[in-house]
Structure 1
Amino acid sequence: MSKHYEAKIVSLNAAKIGSNPHGTAEFTEDESTLTIKIEMFDTPANTQHWEHFHGFPEGKVAAIATMAQDANGDGFVDLPETEPVSGTTMVPFDAAPERMSIPNDTYPVSDGDGHFVYEKTVPLDELQQQFKSAFGTTDLQLDKRVVYVHGVPESLELPDTVAGVVGPYDAHVTLPIAVGKIEATD
Protein backbone atom coordinates (compact mmCIF):
# COMPACT_ATOMS: atom_id res chain seq x y z
CA MET A 1 0.00 0.00 0.00
CA SER A 2 1.37 3.40 -1.01
CA LYS A 3 1.59 6.38 1.31
CA HIS A 4 1.32 9.86 -0.20
CA TYR A 5 2.70 13.11 1.20
CA GLU A 6 2.98 16.64 -0.04
CA ALA A 7 4.34 20.01 0.99
CA LYS A 8 3.42 23.50 -0.12
CA ILE A 9 6.80 25.25 -0.31
CA VAL A 10 6.88 28.95 0.59
CA SER A 11 9.66 31.50 0.40
CA LEU A 12 12.17 32.26 3.13
CA ASN A 13 14.58 35.19 2.97
CA ALA A 14 12.66 36.57 -0.05
CA ALA A 15 13.13 40.21 0.98
CA LYS A 16 16.90 39.78 0.85
CA ILE A 17 17.38 37.47 -2.14
CA GLY A 18 15.35 39.41 -4.70
CA SER A 19 12.91 36.64 -5.59
CA ASN A 20 9.95 34.84 -4.04
CA PRO A 21 10.64 31.09 -4.39
CA HIS A 22 7.63 28.80 -4.08
CA GLY A 23 6.50 25.40 -5.24
CA THR A 24 5.36 21.95 -4.24
CA ALA A 25 6.87 18.67 -3.16
CA GLU A 26 5.17 15.29 -3.55
CA PHE A 27 6.32 11.99 -2.08
CA THR A 28 4.97 8.50 -2.72
CA GLU A 29 6.32 5.71 -0.53
CA ASP A 30 5.48 2.13 -1.44
CA GLU A 31 6.99 -1.20 -0.39
CA SER A 32 10.18 -0.80 -2.40
CA THR A 33 10.55 2.82 -3.55
CA LEU A 34 10.22 6.44 -2.56
CA THR A 35 9.23 8.67 -5.47
CA ILE A 36 9.99 12.36 -5.06
CA LYS A 37 8.78 15.25 -7.23
CA ILE A 38 9.64 18.84 -6.42
CA GLU A 39 8.69 21.74 -8.67
CA MET A 40 9.95 25.22 -7.87
CA PHE A 41 9.19 28.64 -9.34
CA ASP A 42 10.87 32.04 -8.92
CA THR A 43 14.08 30.71 -7.38
CA PRO A 44 17.30 32.59 -8.11
CA ALA A 45 17.89 31.88 -11.82
CA ASN A 46 20.64 29.69 -13.23
CA THR A 47 21.63 28.56 -9.74
CA GLN A 48 22.16 25.10 -8.24
CA HIS A 49 19.64 24.51 -5.47
CA TRP A 50 20.41 22.07 -2.71
CA GLU A 51 17.19 20.56 -1.38
CA HIS A 52 16.61 18.14 1.50
CA PHE A 53 14.20 17.09 4.13
CA HIS A 54 15.12 18.17 7.64
CA GLY A 55 13.88 16.83 10.94
CA PHE A 56 14.60 15.59 14.42
CA PRO A 57 16.09 12.08 14.71
CA GLU A 58 14.09 11.36 17.88
CA GLY A 59 10.82 11.94 15.98
CA LYS A 60 9.76 15.37 17.26
CA VAL A 61 7.62 17.15 14.67
CA ALA A 62 9.65 19.68 12.66
CA ALA A 63 8.24 23.10 11.85
CA ILE A 64 9.14 25.52 9.09
CA ALA A 65 11.48 28.38 9.89
CA THR A 66 10.21 31.94 9.50
CA MET A 67 11.96 35.29 9.89
CA ALA A 68 11.34 34.86 13.63
CA GLN A 69 14.31 32.45 13.58
CA ASP A 70 16.71 35.27 12.59
CA ALA A 71 18.45 35.00 15.98
CA ASN A 72 21.29 37.42 15.21
CA GLY A 73 19.06 40.05 13.58
CA ASP A 74 21.05 40.26 10.33
CA GLY A 75 17.91 40.03 8.16
CA PHE A 76 18.67 36.47 6.98
CA VAL A 77 17.58 33.11 8.36
CA ASP A 78 20.65 30.97 7.75
CA LEU A 79 20.98 27.20 7.96
CA PRO A 80 22.06 27.02 11.66
CA GLU A 81 19.16 29.30 12.64
CA THR A 82 16.63 26.81 11.18
CA GLU A 83 17.80 23.93 13.38
CA PRO A 84 15.89 24.75 16.62
CA VAL A 85 12.51 24.48 14.82
CA SER A 86 13.34 22.25 11.84
CA GLY A 87 16.03 19.87 13.07
CA THR A 88 18.99 18.66 11.09
CA THR A 89 19.53 18.02 7.40
CA MET A 90 18.54 14.40 6.75
CA VAL A 91 17.99 13.26 3.15
CA PRO A 92 19.22 15.15 0.08
CA PHE A 93 17.20 15.46 -3.10
CA ASP A 94 20.15 15.10 -5.45
CA ALA A 95 21.25 12.51 -8.02
CA ALA A 96 21.28 9.70 -5.41
CA PRO A 97 19.24 10.45 -2.26
CA GLU A 98 19.73 6.87 -1.03
CA ARG A 99 23.44 7.57 -0.51
CA MET A 100 22.66 10.45 1.88
CA SER A 101 25.79 12.28 0.79
CA ILE A 102 24.78 15.89 1.47
CA PRO A 103 27.62 18.02 0.09
CA ASN A 104 27.91 17.47 -3.67
CA ASP A 105 27.20 19.10 -7.02
CA THR A 106 24.35 16.88 -8.27
CA TYR A 107 21.40 19.02 -7.15
CA PRO A 108 18.97 20.66 -9.59
CA VAL A 109 19.88 23.90 -11.35
CA SER A 110 17.15 26.42 -12.06
CA ASP A 111 16.64 27.78 -15.55
CA GLY A 112 16.76 31.44 -16.58
CA ASP A 113 13.25 31.97 -15.15
CA GLY A 114 14.09 30.38 -11.77
CA HIS A 115 12.11 27.22 -12.52
CA PHE A 116 13.12 23.61 -12.03
CA VAL A 117 11.53 20.20 -11.64
CA TYR A 118 13.25 17.43 -9.70
CA GLU A 119 11.95 13.86 -10.04
CA LYS A 120 13.61 10.77 -8.63
CA THR A 121 12.55 7.27 -7.65
CA VAL A 122 14.76 5.94 -4.87
CA PRO A 123 15.26 2.33 -3.71
CA LEU A 124 13.64 2.44 -0.28
CA ASP A 125 15.72 -0.35 1.27
CA GLU A 126 19.01 1.44 0.46
CA LEU A 127 17.68 4.76 1.75
CA GLN A 128 16.37 3.17 4.95
CA GLN A 129 19.70 1.42 5.53
CA GLN A 130 21.61 4.71 5.25
CA PHE A 131 18.97 6.50 7.33
CA LYS A 132 19.30 3.89 10.08
CA SER A 133 23.07 4.22 10.03
CA ALA A 134 22.79 8.00 10.41
CA PHE A 135 19.75 8.35 12.68
CA GLY A 136 19.12 4.96 14.33
CA THR A 137 15.80 4.17 12.65
CA THR A 138 14.54 3.04 9.24
CA ASP A 139 11.30 5.03 9.63
CA LEU A 140 11.56 8.18 7.49
CA GLN A 141 8.53 9.69 9.28
CA LEU A 142 7.90 12.05 6.37
CA ASP A 143 4.88 13.61 8.06
CA LYS A 144 7.22 14.90 10.80
CA ARG A 145 9.68 16.52 8.37
CA VAL A 146 10.09 19.74 6.43
CA VAL A 147 11.53 20.34 2.96
CA TYR A 148 14.14 23.03 2.44
CA VAL A 149 15.40 24.49 -0.83
CA HIS A 150 18.71 26.36 -0.60
CA GLY A 151 20.99 28.45 -2.78
CA VAL A 152 21.63 31.96 -3.98
CA PRO A 153 24.10 33.24 -6.60
CA GLU A 154 27.66 34.03 -5.54
CA SER A 155 26.97 37.60 -6.68
CA LEU A 156 24.48 38.17 -3.82
CA GLU A 157 26.24 40.03 -1.05
CA LEU A 158 25.81 38.22 2.27
CA PRO A 159 26.91 39.70 5.58
CA ASP A 160 29.65 37.87 7.50
CA THR A 161 27.00 36.92 10.07
CA VAL A 162 25.31 34.51 7.64
CA ALA A 163 26.55 31.06 8.65
CA GLY A 164 26.22 27.69 6.95
CA VAL A 165 29.57 26.52 5.59
CA VAL A 166 29.45 22.80 4.73
CA GLY A 167 32.82 21.47 3.62
CA PRO A 168 33.99 23.60 0.70
CA TYR A 169 30.49 25.07 0.21
CA ASP A 170 29.77 28.50 1.66
CA ALA A 171 26.56 30.17 2.81
CA HIS A 172 25.58 31.04 -0.78
CA VAL A 173 24.99 27.32 -1.34
CA THR A 174 23.33 26.57 2.01
CA LEU A 175 21.18 29.68 2.55
CA PRO A 176 17.54 28.53 2.81
CA ILE A 177 15.34 30.18 0.21
CA ALA A 178 12.11 28.16 0.62
CA VAL A 179 10.56 25.71 3.04
CA GLY A 180 7.45 23.53 3.35
CA LYS A 181 5.92 21.21 5.94
CA ILE A 182 5.40 17.67 4.67
CA GLU A 183 1.91 16.36 5.36
CA ALA A 184 0.28 12.99 4.73
CA THR A 185 -2.45 13.16 2.08
CA ASP A 186 -3.95 9.68 2.48
Structure 2
Amino acid sequence: MVQKYVAEIKPLNEAIIGTKPHGTAEFTVSDDALHIEVEMFDTPKNMQHWEHFHGFTDGKDAQPATMAQDVNHDGVVDLPETEAVSGTTMVPFDAEPHQMDIANDTYPVSDDQGHFKYVKHVPLADLKAQFKKVFGTDDLDLDKRVIYIHGVPDAVKLPDTVGGNLNEKYDKHVTLPIAVGKIKSVK
Protein backbone atom coordinates (compact mmCIF):
# COMPACT_ATOMS: atom_id res chain seq x y z
CA MET A 1 0.00 0.00 0.00
CA VAL A 2 1.25 3.49 -0.87
CA GLN A 3 0.31 6.55 1.17
CA LYS A 4 1.03 10.11 0.06
CA TYR A 5 1.32 13.27 2.13
CA VAL A 6 1.98 16.89 1.21
CA ALA A 7 2.74 20.13 2.99
CA GLU A 8 2.56 23.69 1.73
CA ILE A 9 5.44 25.41 3.49
CA LYS A 10 4.88 29.05 4.39
CA PRO A 11 7.13 31.79 5.80
CA LEU A 12 7.68 32.29 9.52
CA ASN A 13 9.76 35.13 11.00
CA GLU A 14 10.05 36.71 7.56
CA ALA A 15 10.11 40.25 9.00
CA ILE A 16 13.40 39.64 10.79
CA ILE A 17 15.11 37.64 8.05
CA GLY A 18 14.06 39.82 5.11
CA THR A 19 12.86 37.01 2.83
CA LYS A 20 9.68 34.95 2.60
CA PRO A 21 10.81 31.31 2.47
CA HIS A 22 8.19 29.06 0.92
CA GLY A 23 7.94 25.72 -0.78
CA THR A 24 6.43 22.26 -0.74
CA ALA A 25 7.11 18.88 0.79
CA GLU A 26 5.92 15.52 -0.47
CA PHE A 27 6.15 12.25 1.39
CA THR A 28 5.39 8.86 -0.12
CA VAL A 29 5.24 5.87 2.19
CA SER A 30 5.47 2.40 0.68
CA ASP A 31 5.98 -0.98 2.31
CA ASP A 32 9.74 -0.58 2.46
CA ALA A 33 10.58 3.12 2.11
CA LEU A 34 9.71 6.72 2.88
CA HIS A 35 10.41 8.92 -0.13
CA ILE A 36 10.86 12.60 0.80
CA GLU A 37 10.99 15.60 -1.52
CA VAL A 38 11.29 19.13 -0.16
CA GLU A 39 11.74 22.13 -2.44
CA MET A 40 12.26 25.59 -0.99
CA PHE A 41 12.48 29.07 -2.48
CA ASP A 42 13.58 32.43 -1.03
CA THR A 43 15.43 30.99 1.94
CA PRO A 44 18.52 32.83 3.19
CA LYS A 45 21.10 32.28 0.45
CA ASN A 46 24.19 30.08 0.35
CA MET A 47 23.74 28.40 3.70
CA GLN A 48 22.75 25.11 5.24
CA HIS A 49 19.13 24.79 6.38
CA TRP A 50 18.12 22.28 8.99
CA GLU A 51 14.73 20.73 8.22
CA HIS A 52 12.66 18.24 10.23
CA PHE A 53 9.21 17.07 11.01
CA HIS A 54 7.99 17.97 14.47
CA GLY A 55 5.16 16.48 16.49
CA PHE A 56 3.82 15.10 19.73
CA THR A 57 4.39 11.57 21.03
CA ASP A 58 0.94 11.34 22.64
CA GLY A 59 -1.07 11.37 19.41
CA LYS A 60 -1.94 15.08 19.60
CA ASP A 61 -2.23 16.78 16.20
CA ALA A 62 0.68 19.22 15.68
CA GLN A 63 -0.07 22.62 14.19
CA PRO A 64 2.23 25.18 12.53
CA ALA A 65 3.42 27.99 14.76
CA THR A 66 2.34 31.54 13.93
CA MET A 67 3.31 34.89 15.40
CA ALA A 68 0.72 34.11 18.10
CA GLN A 69 3.34 31.80 19.62
CA ASP A 70 5.68 34.77 20.26
CA VAL A 71 4.95 34.56 24.00
CA ASN A 72 7.79 36.87 25.06
CA HIS A 73 6.74 39.51 22.47
CA ASP A 74 10.23 39.99 21.01
CA GLY A 75 8.94 39.88 17.43
CA VAL A 76 10.41 36.42 16.76
CA VAL A 77 8.98 32.93 17.11
CA ASP A 78 11.96 30.87 18.23
CA LEU A 79 12.24 27.09 18.43
CA PRO A 80 11.19 26.78 22.11
CA GLU A 81 8.07 28.85 21.40
CA THR A 82 6.95 26.45 18.65
CA GLU A 83 6.81 23.45 20.97
CA ALA A 84 3.42 24.28 22.54
CA VAL A 85 1.62 23.85 19.20
CA SER A 86 4.08 21.81 17.14
CA GLY A 87 5.71 19.43 19.60
CA THR A 88 9.31 18.33 19.50
CA THR A 89 11.82 17.85 16.70
CA MET A 90 11.48 14.29 15.47
CA VAL A 91 12.99 13.25 12.12
CA PRO A 92 15.69 15.27 10.34
CA PHE A 93 15.74 15.62 6.58
CA ASP A 94 19.49 15.25 6.22
CA ALA A 95 21.79 12.67 4.62
CA GLU A 96 20.46 9.84 6.82
CA PRO A 97 17.02 10.59 8.30
CA HIS A 98 16.71 7.02 9.63
CA GLN A 99 19.64 7.68 11.99
CA MET A 100 17.65 10.53 13.62
CA ASP A 101 20.86 12.42 14.39
CA ILE A 102 19.54 15.99 14.61
CA ALA A 103 22.79 17.93 15.00
CA ASN A 104 24.99 17.40 11.96
CA ASP A 105 26.18 19.18 8.85
CA THR A 106 24.49 17.08 6.16
CA TYR A 107 21.38 19.22 5.63
CA PRO A 108 20.61 20.92 2.30
CA VAL A 109 22.43 24.11 1.35
CA SER A 110 20.58 26.86 -0.50
CA ASP A 111 22.04 28.32 -3.66
CA ASP A 112 22.65 32.00 -4.43
CA GLN A 113 18.95 32.41 -5.21
CA GLY A 114 17.83 30.90 -1.88
CA HIS A 115 16.63 27.68 -3.56
CA PHE A 116 17.24 24.10 -2.58
CA LYS A 117 15.70 20.75 -3.38
CA TYR A 118 16.07 17.79 -1.06
CA VAL A 119 15.22 14.28 -2.27
CA LYS A 120 15.79 11.19 -0.14
CA HIS A 121 14.66 7.57 -0.20
CA VAL A 122 14.70 6.32 3.41
CA PRO A 123 14.56 2.65 4.50
CA LEU A 124 11.24 2.53 6.36
CA ALA A 125 12.12 -0.37 8.67
CA ASP A 126 15.29 1.41 9.85
CA LEU A 127 13.46 4.70 10.37
CA LYS A 128 10.60 3.06 12.29
CA ALA A 129 13.03 1.10 14.48
CA GLN A 130 14.95 4.24 15.42
CA PHE A 131 11.72 6.23 15.87
CA LYS A 132 10.43 3.55 18.26
CA LYS A 133 13.72 3.59 20.17
CA VAL A 134 13.52 7.36 20.64
CA PHE A 135 9.76 7.97 20.94
CA GLY A 136 8.31 4.60 22.06
CA THR A 137 6.22 4.03 18.94
CA ASP A 138 6.98 3.14 15.35
CA ASP A 139 3.93 4.99 13.97
CA LEU A 140 5.24 8.04 12.12
CA ASP A 141 1.72 9.59 12.05
CA LEU A 142 2.75 11.95 9.26
CA ASP A 143 -0.70 13.55 9.05
CA LYS A 144 -0.25 14.69 12.68
CA ARG A 145 3.12 16.36 12.01
CA VAL A 146 4.46 19.66 10.75
CA ILE A 147 7.62 20.37 8.79
CA TYR A 148 9.97 23.18 9.77
CA ILE A 149 12.79 24.76 7.80
CA HIS A 150 15.40 26.47 9.98
CA GLY A 151 18.37 28.77 9.71
CA VAL A 152 19.48 32.35 9.18
CA PRO A 153 22.97 33.79 8.68
CA ASP A 154 24.95 34.80 11.75
CA ALA A 155 24.80 38.38 10.47
CA VAL A 156 21.03 38.54 11.15
CA LYS A 157 20.58 40.45 14.41
CA LEU A 158 18.31 38.44 16.70
CA PRO A 159 17.02 39.70 20.04
CA ASP A 160 18.85 38.37 23.10
CA THR A 161 15.56 36.73 24.11
CA VAL A 162 15.63 34.34 21.13
CA GLY A 163 16.47 30.79 22.21
CA GLY A 164 18.06 27.97 20.26
CA ASN A 165 16.21 25.20 22.02
CA LEU A 166 15.09 24.34 25.52
CA ASN A 167 18.59 23.26 26.51
CA GLU A 168 20.24 26.15 24.65
CA LYS A 169 22.39 23.45 23.06
CA TYR A 170 22.21 24.81 19.50
CA ASP A 171 22.87 28.31 18.20
CA LYS A 172 19.71 30.35 17.68
CA HIS A 173 20.76 31.24 14.12
CA VAL A 174 20.89 27.54 13.19
CA THR A 175 17.56 26.62 14.79
CA LEU A 176 15.47 29.73 14.08
CA PRO A 177 12.33 28.56 12.24
CA ILE A 178 12.00 30.34 8.89
CA ALA A 179 9.14 28.34 7.33
CA VAL A 180 6.55 25.79 8.41
CA GLY A 181 3.84 23.62 6.90
CA LYS A 182 1.20 21.18 8.07
CA ILE A 183 1.65 17.69 6.63
CA LYS A 184 -1.64 16.40 5.21
CA SER A 185 -2.68 13.06 3.80
CA VAL A 186 -3.56 13.03 0.10
CA LYS A 187 -6.75 11.07 -0.33
Q: TM-score, normalised by structure 2?
A: 0.97
Query: Which residue of 1 is the match for residue 92 of structure 2?
Result: 92
2:129 aligned partner, one-letter code: Q
Query: Which residue of 2 is the match for residue 131 of structure 1?
Result: 131
Within 2, Cα distance between the matches of 1:134 and 1:167?
Answer: 20
Within 2, Cα distance between the matches of 1:49 and 1:111?
Answer: 11
Query: Which residue of 1 is the match for residue 30 of structure 2?
Result: 30
Within 2, Cα distance between the matches of 1:10 and 1:103?
Answer: 24
Within 2, Cα distance between the matches of 1:147 and 1:101?
Answer: 16
Shift of 1:169: 3.2
Within 2, Cα distance between the matches of 1:168 and 1:3?
Answer: 35
C-alpha RMSD of matched pairs (Å)? 1.0
Q: Which consecutive unaligned segments of at least 5 residues does structure 2 have?
A: none
The C-alpha deviation readout for 1:86-113, integer Å capped at 9, x for no partner, is: 0000000000000000011100010000
Within 2, Cα distance between the matches of 1:73 and 1:167?
Answer: 19
SS at match of 2:108: coil
1:142 aligned partner, one-letter code: L
Q: Which 10-residue stretch deviates more, 153-162 or 20-29? A: 153-162
Within 2, Cα distance between the matches of 1:59 and 1:32?
Answer: 23
Shift of 1:59: 1.0
8 Å CA contact retained: 1:103, 1:167: no
Within 2, Cα distance between the matches of 1:168 and 1:86?
Answer: 19
Pair 1:61-2:49 in alignment: no
Shift of 1:159: 1.2
Pair 1:107-2:107 in alignment: yes
Query: Which residue of 1 is the match for residue 16 of structure 2?
Result: 16
Shift of 1:167: 7.3
1:6 aligned partner, one-letter code: V
Q: TM-score, normalised by structure 1?
A: 0.98
8 Å CA contact retained: 1:79, 1:174: yes
Give the 3 Å change call, closer, same or farther, for CA 140–115 of structure 1 in structure 2: same
Within 2, Cα distance between the matches of 1:125 and 1:75?
Answer: 41
Pair 1:70-2:83 in alignment: no
Shift of 1:168: 5.9
Q: Which 10-residue stretch deviates more, 164-173 or 35-44? A: 164-173
The C-alpha deviation readout for 1:2-52, integer Å capped at 9, x for no partner, is: 000000000000011000000000000000000000000000001110000
Q: Which 10-residue stretch deviates more, 5-14 or 167-176? A: 167-176
Matches within 5 A, 1:47-58: 47-58=47-58
SS at match of 1:84: helix
